[in-house]
Amino acid sequence: MLYICRVKNEFLKNWETQLKKGLLPYFVLKALDARERYGYELIQHLKDDFNTEVTESTMYPLLTRLQKEELLIYKWIEQPTGIPRKYYYISEEGRAHLAAMKNAINENFIK
């Protein structure tokens, strides 16, 4: 995640982990604000578009947490082939939270 340099020392590696704890919920809400996605897809998306590598044991509990907080809604979508996908959508409350989070982040980074 967060390409800092090829060789990362322990401190920077740990720092990135800690930073993720705050950024992941934001990234997920932001990604789902653009369009609905399923868990497995989100993992790929964060990797490709946010430079952020997340394991399944991080993503699935996170999605469940956000859904329990009512920031996300999910719907099982049957596929013509393969296992059904659990698509997540952002809720109105989720959008409000995302806006609040965006503000908080801008407050701290733009200036």
Which residues contact DNA (rule: CB under 7 A)? 1, 10, 14-18, 20-21, 24-25, 38-41, 53-58, 60-65, 79, 81-87
CB 64 to a second copy: min, Å: 14
CB 37 to DNA: min, Å: 8
CB 104 to a second copy: min, Å: 4
Complex with DNA: residue 65 or 104, whichever CB lies closer: 65
Complex with a second copy: residue 56 or 106, whichever CB lies closer: 106
What token pair was written down for 6?
Answer: 């090829």
Cα separation of the two ends of the chain: 24
What does the buried/exposed string (b/e) look like for 31-58 if buried means 16 or more CB atoms within 10 Å of the residue's CB? bbeeebbbbeebbebbeeebebebeeee
Let me know: does 95 contact 101? Beta carbons within 8 Å. Answer: no
